[in-house]
Chains A and B, each alone.
Chain A
Amino acid sequence: MPDTSHAANRASSARRRADFKALGPFIALAALIVLGAVVNPVFLTPGNLINVLTRTAFTGVIAIGGTFIITTGGIDLSVGALAAFVSGVMIIVMNALTPEGLPPLMVVLLGTLTVMVIGALAGLVNGLLITRGRIEPFIVTLGTMGIFRSLVTYLADGGTLSLNSQIRSFYRPVYYSGVLGITYPIIVFALVSVIGAIVLYRTRYGRYVTATGANEEVARYSAIHVDRIKLAAYALQGLCVGLAVFLYVPRLGSASATTGLGWELEAIAAVIIGGTLMKGGSGRIWGTVSGAIILASIDNILNLTGAISVYLNSAIQGCIIIVAVLVQRDAKSRP
């Protein structure tokens, strides 16, 4: 039963802690950049930075969607497999459209439309099973993960689906070119992040997402349609996967059973490193962005050095991820 001045004091110190915690992922990223520069000055060259950020874009865009899911208190394990599946569908659709004599731009646009629609529909299916079916998100998406993964294997007949070369050369610049040296995937990632931040922090929907994850009962008693909020979050995640695939397919022009393997874990790790609470109720878009960049940078830095035995790569990754989260935890428990 604190009196008011005491409460005030506690509150302001709580806020200082919160501020520090919010800074955690950015501090970790800054430290990693310094580390990278020390390991190999090549790390800071524009070419390398562009490479890293461009690679970050797929899992980054997916992780923005994941931030919404996790903020509602859910999880989506199916995103990597879904990415592989829609990549496969996109290639099949574009290969099938090419002989029709359509202009390449039209083919790519139709392909893109297809992945967006299928992505969103797949997300809706996840969402419906979770909200209407009343099944745990972990189980639902574990199930659909297997389904999407084997669907792409089926489509590719166990091998690889390759985009025909005519469309390939037209579509290729979407990954490799850009504006003023900044590649399109980076631009798209930045735009998605800004939109994600606005939606989560400034709109009613974002507030409802947060409230749902913070306490579903309170949300329900505040006249919020919890099921619709969740359903929309999963559809949004599917849309993000579609967008990621739009950026991914032009890179190698192929899809196989190994496409997007482990992306779900990378995306979830990015979200958590970024400071979003696993139990829901607090989402941090910019934290997620730096989390995704941290993960891609670790890989890059390890590739830029010969000093560490390749056998230890995963151990180094694991350590950096844990330290990045510990930084925040420490900040949290500090008085």
Chain B
Amino acid sequence: MKFSIGLAALAVGMMIAAAPAGAADKKVLGVSIPSATHGWAGGLNWHAQQAKIALEKKYPDLSIALVTAGDATRQANDLEDLVQVRKIDALVILPFESAPLTEPVRQVKNAGKWITIVDRGLTDPSIQDLYVAGNNPQMGANSANFMVKKMGGKGNIVILRGIPTVIDNQRFDAFMDIVKKTDIKVLDSKYANWNRDDGFKVMQDFLSRFPKIDAVWAQDDDITLGVIEAVKQAGREKDLFILGGAGMKEMVKRVMDKDVLVPADVLYPPKMIADAMELTAKHMMENAPLEKQYIVDATLVTPENAKQFYYPDSPF
């Protein structure tokens, strides 16, 4: 039962076709994640895929059912299928949105399954048995601290935000808390939707509008790619630097290569899904004791440590 990420949409259908036969004696771990609609989610899918292969090899009695969904409603439907058709014993889920998925996940919990929540917490944390997440406020804070230090506490910056969600707000608020205590002036912030084309357009307009920009906080590496092109077009590479986030391999490579335009990156690794799967599998198969929470640090990637965060085979 192999399916590539690109064909993930078919997963639900195949799942039904390939119902439990032979899986009865095996333990089943269900994994539900959003489909690969942007770079970070692409990395998420890749890491989940890698973890599935590795874990199924490591534990011959473990079967992993990986499903991806394009929106919250479909993800809720997936959960029902995982419980009823695939007879899962535990669930690892990265919820599309917090509120709409809280009740569906509670249903799974009530069916007696182990619940591991990744990245986006449910509105009722008591449902989860394990919580694995990146640290959004820390990501904003680390980004701010790096910028403040690099700019000597003064100068003009612009911010390209993601999309209006809790994650984005947490990062942004933590960033602003630190920056507003300094002489750094935030010229403006606009949404760039975690998207390269939007990053390019918004940055073009910022460059037209503000003659003096010292730094850009792009918050996400897909956006950063667009920002770099806009800066290059305007010929202002020498005047400013860009700080992205997430740990895209192209950006980590630039940091490794000591690119002055992108001097650092802040991790928000999609690999956290693999960590969550591994911890859960370990608990299922070896009954290993677990902490309730496992927070992945938003580590600052610098030329010194870049090598250990570089995954050249990952799509992200």
Contacts and interface: CB of A to CB of B under 8 A. Distances in A.
A38 interface: no
A252 B209 contact: no
A176 B233 contact: yes
B34 to A, nearest CB: 11
Contacts, number: 110
B95 interface: no
B100 interface: no
B259 interface: no
A250 B179 CA distance: 36
B217 interface: no
B315 A299 contact: no
Contacts of A155: 6
A203 interface: no
Interface string B283-316: 0000000000000000000000000000000111
Contacts of A304: 205, 208-209
A85 to B, nearest CB: 12
B190 A310 contact: yes
A159 B314 contact: yes
B221 to A, nearest CB: 10
B43 interface: yes
A303 B161 contact: no
Interface string A52-96: 000100000000000000000000000000000000000000000
Q: Which of A151, A157, A162, A176 has the most CB of B within 10 A?
A: A157
Given A42-B209, A300-B205, A159 B36 contact: yes
A181 interface: no
Interface in A143-166: 146, 150-151, 153-160, 162
A259 interface: yes
A333 interface: no
A159 B42 contact: yes
A143 to B, nearest CB: 13
A5 interface: no
A151 B6 contact: yes
Contacts of A151: 6
7 contacts: A156-B42, A158-B6, A158-B41, A160-B39, A160-B316, A252-B226, A254-B225
Interface of B: 4-7, 9, 35-39, 41-43, 45-46, 161, 164, 187-191, 195-197, 200-202, 204-206, 208-209, 222, 225-226, 229, 233, 250, 314-316
